[in-house]
Every structure is written in structure tokens, then in C-alpha cells.
Chain A
Amino acid sequence: MQPRTLYDKLWDAHVVHVEPDGTALIYIDRQLVHEVTSPQAFEGLKINGRKPWRLASLLATPDHNIPTADRDKGIADPVSRTQVETLDANCAEFGITEFGMNDPRQGIVHVIGPEQGFTQPGMTLVCGDSHTSTHGAFGALAFGIGTSEVEHVLATQCLWQKKARAMQVRVEGALKLGVTAKDIALAVIGQIGTAGGTGYAVEFTGTAIRGLSMEGRMTLCNMAIEAGARAGMVAVDDKTLEYMRGRPYSPREGQFEMAAAYWRTLVSDPGAKFDAVVELDAANIKPQVTWGTSPEMVVPVDGRVPDPADAPNAVKKSDWERALAYMGLPANTPIDQINVDKVFIGSCTNSRIEDLREAARVASWALGQNRRVAGNVKLAMVVPGSGLVKAQAEAEGLDKLFTAAGFEWRDPGCSMCLAMNADRLEPGERCASTSNRNFEGRQGQGGRTHLVSPAMAAAAAVFGHFVDIRNLDNEVMQ
């Protein structure tokens, strides 16, 4: 047999039928459901008198519209409330397991899937959300779909797909102190662009990727979509298996070893052919900060906002000019001289326990220096990815560090990543954010987003402007 990539193996294991033009009917093992992209799908099922094909393949939770403060008072916005209540009603009607707004296990779909062991290696997993690529960290084929396909998977357990091309993004070497999975993700996007991965399924490989925790791998795969790739993935190894043990939905005793034996085969074979290969040297990656309105508009923290006069072509020049005008930044501004008004630590990219520990490390350092969130920062909020992450962080005392240092400690949800709930930027406000998109208006109309890692965001909160976390880390380590 020809050597196969991880993607080949995942694809081959799920083909139900192939049409003459190569379009394949692919079996879907799991679907995560949230309130925003599902109501029209459930409505479609009802209109046609259909039922979900396999209830055990589904797990639902509301996340996008959920308030992150005073949750006991319910959702103030009636439109948001209706959407969440519609999810509750649909789940009740069809018998779908839902972690409702007040369930301690509620959280962002892409945090709770792995946390519950609902996401497993070797699976196909979909959700009506582009950041479904996150779950590829487990050696799974996971990608975002639209609402018509949400309905299609509910009704048939399958999807029509054309096989994507395979891209390998290889990151070799050791990351420098203060450099994280988020910085790898942004550096990759900076290198290949927001459309560089379009049409590809990306496998992240190399010693730097093997060195990442499962949380770090999730952060990386989460942002594959920001490079245009619907699916990102990392091969299974001991860390994957270790993570899977003992979770509520993990294979039960007796089946776990059988599953693990299969999971261990979920690696690209030596000599497997990729359609494209991108290489990065981990040692060269610095903490990254986006300066514009697309994730590819990114520079290292010790860099400067670019000058449109230096743009490689006319289209880029006008893109850069428009982005700088929107961001309110003069060309050539040093990144560490950019002040921030708000700080958001959270989102499906960076709201897991490891992310919160990273941010709390900075809060702890600040307290030791008798410092708190800087006076020019109106709000610095920490939004854990799930109720269980929140409980874990509180058990470790992280919440106390955050609140003592002047950060707000909130309840789990998508929050200011896309500002569908009450958490948002006002026009002109500038935010250091650990989320995944810096599009115009993403965090609130007129809001200005700079994407960074959790420690970089926390440091920006303490100093009131971006700082190079490596300097702070060096100080801490000495």
C-alpha cells in the first residue's frame, strides 16, 4: 500500500459512497450544536418531518449569546434570549443532550468537546462554526459547516465532500521562552496568508508541534481556518492518549485499549506525499501582534506597523492603507508604543486552563511588583472556556490573582471574540485580544482588535500598551 497521510487515513475510513466526479459521501461521527447556526436546521427537519439520524452523535450547548456576568439574572437581550431558548426547546423536542446555560459543564463548543472526551482521535467531527478545526488537534478530521449542512448531518449522518489537497506545515526546533502555540499560528498565517490554506487540509508536524501540549495543539488547529484551511490536524501521540483517559465520553474500560491501538495508527506514514509543504524554524518565531484587519497582517512584537509605501503590489497597498485608517495607526508605529483600551482573554482559541495559567503568571508577576491593570485600560476581562475550566482555575487560585491584579473574572462563553452578547468594544476602542479574528467590527462596530497570546494580552493590560513578554519572562526567570 502507498504511504498515506493522516488526512488520507481519516478520509478513507469515512467514505460511504463516491460519485463518478469524485464527490464522496462521508460519514460524520460527531456533531456539536450551538444556538446560532442550528435554529434554521431544526426548522428544516420539522418542516420535512425528519428526525436526527443518531442522537448519540450530538452534543449541544449555548455559547455565542451567553452573558458572562450576572448569569442568574438571565439574558437581558430578548433576541439573544429567544435564540438560546430555541436551542433548549429543539434539544428537548428531539432528545439531544444539551449542557444548558446553567449547567456546570456549559462552555464554548470547541472547549467542551475535547474536555468531555466527546472529541476523539480518528473521528469526523463537524459543527456550524468555522473554528471546528480545533478538534483536529486529536488526530481527527474536523471542520466547520453552514446551516444547510448542519441539517444535512442531523438528517443523514453524512456530508457530500470533495477530498481536499494535503498540506504539511512543519515547525522544527524549540520555541523560545514566551513564545506559544498562538504565536506559531499567527506566524504561519503571516507567512502563507489568509488564503494560503484554501483547498487544503493542513497537518502540523515537527518537533515544535510534538512539544506542544494538547491545549497548544488545539490553539494551533483552531486558527487553521484563519489561514483558509477548513481542517487542521496533529498526529496522535502519547500526549493525545494521555489526554483521552478518564473523560466522561472517552471509550469505557475494556474498549479504551482497543481504541488506543487504532488511534496510534493515526499518523502520516513515512514517505507520505503532501501536495504542499511549508516550513518554519521555531527558534525564529517571536511573540506576534496583529496590526490590521486580517490575521495575516501580523508582525513580531519588536517590529513596527508596516508602511503601505512598502507593499508588494497595488492591491496590498490599498488593503494596508484601509486597514491602517480603520485601526487608527500611522505607518511605522513601533508595536510596543500602541496603547490599549480593553483586554480580552478568552475564546475558543485561548480560554483553556493552560491559557489562563499563562495569563495568571503575568498577573502574579504584576502583583509582586505592586502593579495592577494600567489606568488607561478600561476593562481587562478573563473569560474561561467552560464551567469546568472556570472551576479548575478557581481551584488553583487563578481567579484570585486575576481579580487582585484588576482583571474581571467572568463566566464561560464566546464573549468578546465576536460580541454577540453584551461584551463588546465601543467605536474606536483598541483591544489586545486572545481571540482569532481582527476583522473590522468583529468585537463591536468600529472596534480595533490586536490578536496576541494570553501572556501578551495580560502584559498589555498591566502596562497599558504592548510589551515584549520575553523581557518580562527573562526577569521572572532570573
Chain B
Amino acid sequence: MKPFTRVDGLVAPLDRANVDTDAIIPKQFLKSIKRSGFGPHAFDEWRYLDHGEPGMDCSTRPLNPDFVLNRARYQGASVLLARENFGCGSSREHAPWALEDYGFRAIIAPSYADIFFNNCFKNGVLPIVLAADIVDKLFKETVASEGYKLTVDLAAQTVTTPSGEAFAFDVDPERKHRLLNGLDDISLTLKFTDRIQAYEARRKVEAPWLFA
């Protein structure tokens, strides 16, 4: 996994609540057996005027001029500003894969759906929770000022605005450690092999039917 330390990035505002993972990456793209290449189809139904299918050349498709991410001023954004319950619905990890492949490294929202939130950490994408009034303020500043950037510092756990105002955010120490260092969960877990085997040995006595 790509480590996440600090991002100094252009901000794109997606001003809708309850954005679901079906919207982030529609079902037809889930037929891929790969982990990469989902970026051109991120928000496909909102982003393009035609119907998207896997394998299309997206560079020639008609863009929806009303979709915020299509505006020239937000091209190259790496911080996504969103509203409450972002990433609800389906567990598809293709959603963070698509966001990451699109270029987003951090998301800022008042709340997330649990599975999506968890999936982000596995893919080097940092989902930051800030209070709704702060998020609202960031929305206003982003819209008001073209080229608006935020600095996200995971080690310091801060989001800093261009004027130098810093907002602290919480993150689980364990998740932070893994994300800062880009650590592979499975390798870490396999260090506990003895304990897993000891657990299994105990359970085989307590609940043998589970292993029958």
C-alpha cells in the first residue's frame, strides 16, 4: 500500500449528502477482475452524458457540464470535500479504488459509512472526519476561492487552510501507523500466527462442530 504522510492539494467540493458507492462507481465496472483503471469511471453516471460501459475510451465521451468535478477549476484535485454519510451502501472496494485512481488522496466529510471508511485505509486514501460546521466553512471557502488548497498532515493530524487556520482530526493510532508506513495488513497479522493457532486449538475443544 502507498504510504500517506502529507498532501497539499487542490480541493473539489461534492455538495451532496448520502453519496453511495453505486454513484462513486456504478455496477457495470465491478465486472473487472483488476484493481486498477477505475478512475476514468469514478462517478460515471454523473460525470458523463452517455451510458458508460467497461472498456470505453472515456477521453472522447461527452462530459456533463453540470457535474462539479468536470469544472476546469477542479481539475487535478486531490482532496475531496463531501457531506454526511459519504460512501454508504454497497461494500465494493472499487469505490476507494476509483477515487484513488482518479487522484484523490484525502476525503473530508462530517461522517462516512463504516465499510467505505474502512476500505479507504486499505488503499492509502485518508477519510477525515471534521465537524459539520467546519466542513460547511470549507465548502464556502473552496467555492469562493479558485485554486483553493488544503494541507493534510497525517502525522500531525491536522487540516490547514490557505490562511493558516488548522483543524485537528482524530484517527485510530493503529490505522495511522499503518497508513503512515504503508504497511501490509496481512504480513502484520501473520506475525500473530501462534496466537491464531492457539485460539483455534481452544475453540476446537469448546465448539468442535465449528471445525467438523
Contact = CB atoms under 8 A, between A and B. Distances in A.
B174 A23 contact: yes
A306 B181 CA distance: 49
Contact of A441 (B22, B33, B83, B209): B22
B199 A16 contact: yes
Nearest to B132: A315
Nearest to B203: A27
Interface string A284-313: 000000000010000000000000000000
Interface in B82-120: 83-85, 88-93, 96, 111-115, 118-119
Interface residues of A, number: 75
Nearest to A436: B89
A157 interface: yes
A326 to B, nearest CB: 11
Nearest to B121: A148
Nearest to B96: A146
A319 B96 CA distance: 24
Nearest to A16: B199
A440 B43 CA distance: 11
A48 interface: yes
Contacts of A442: 22, 27
B26 interface: yes
A148 B27 contact: no
Contact of B190 (A82, A83, A122, A156): A156
A56 interface: yes
A231 B107 CA distance: 25
A4 B132 CA distance: 34
A258 B209 contact: yes
B14 to A, nearest CB: 13
A48 B190 CA distance: 13
Nearest to A85: B33
Nearest to A259: B209
A214 B146 CA distance: 56
B88 A228 contact: yes
Nearest to B34: A40
A259 B208 CA distance: 9
Given A158-B189, A198-B111, A255-B209, A418 B27 contact: yes
B209 A27 contact: no
Nearest to A419: B27
B51, B84, B91, B200, most chain A CB atoms within 10 A: B91
A440 B16 CA distance: 13
Contacts of B212: 251-252, 255
Contacts of A258: 208-209
Given A199-B114, A294-B18, A420-B31, A147 B186 contact: no
A40 B35 contact: yes
A145 interface: yes
B195 A17 contact: yes
A420 B16 CA distance: 26
Contact of B185 (A21, A50, A77, A160): A160
Q: Which of A19, A151, A315 has the most CB of B within 10 A?
A: A315
Interface string A248-274: 000110011011001000000000000
B119 A148 contact: yes
Interface in A433-456: 437, 439-442, 445
Given A148-B119, A439-B20, A36 B174 contact: no
A198 B211 contact: no
B180 interface: no
A144 B175 CA distance: 19
Interface string B155-175: 000000000000000001111
Contact of B210 (A123, A151, A156): A123
A155 B190 contact: yes
Indicate the member of B88, B123, B195, B196 with the most A CB atoms within 10 Å.
B88
B122 A149 contact: yes
Contact of B115 (A23, A25, A160, A230): A230
B8 interface: no
A152 B185 contact: yes
B123 A21 contact: no
A411 interface: no
B199 A130 contact: no
A232 to B, nearest CB: 13
A194 interface: yes
B17 interface: yes
B23 interface: yes
Given A158-B189, A158-B196, A315-B17, A146 B113 contact: no
Contacts of B153: none
A382 B31 CA distance: 24
A392 B144 CA distance: 62
Contacts of B185: 148, 152, 160
A419 B45 CA distance: 15
Interface string A128-171: 11101000000000011111110110011110101000000000
Contacts of B23: 439-441
Contact of B122 (A77, A148, A294, A419): A148
A437 B196 contact: no
A155 B186 contact: yes
Interface in A310-345: 315, 319, 322
Interface string B4-20: 00000000000011101
Given A145-B115, A440-B22, A442-B27, 7 more contacts: A16-B199, A37-B30, A39-B33, A156-B189, A194-B88, A418-B27, A439-B23
Interface of A: 16-17, 19-21, 23, 25, 27, 29, 36-37, 39-40, 43, 48, 50, 53, 56, 64-65, 77, 79-80, 82-83, 86, 120, 122-123, 128-130, 132, 143-149, 151-152, 155-158, 160, 162, 194-195, 198-199, 225, 228, 230, 251-252, 255-256, 258-259, 262, 294, 315, 319, 322, 418-420, 437, 439-442, 445
10 contacts: A29-B210, A37-B93, A86-B33, A146-B119, A198-B112, A258-B209, A319-B17, A437-B22, A441-B23, A442-B22
Interface of B: 16-18, 20, 22-23, 26-28, 30-35, 45, 51, 54-55, 83-85, 88-93, 96, 111-115, 118-119, 122-123, 172-175, 185-186, 189-190, 192, 195-196, 199-200, 203, 207-212
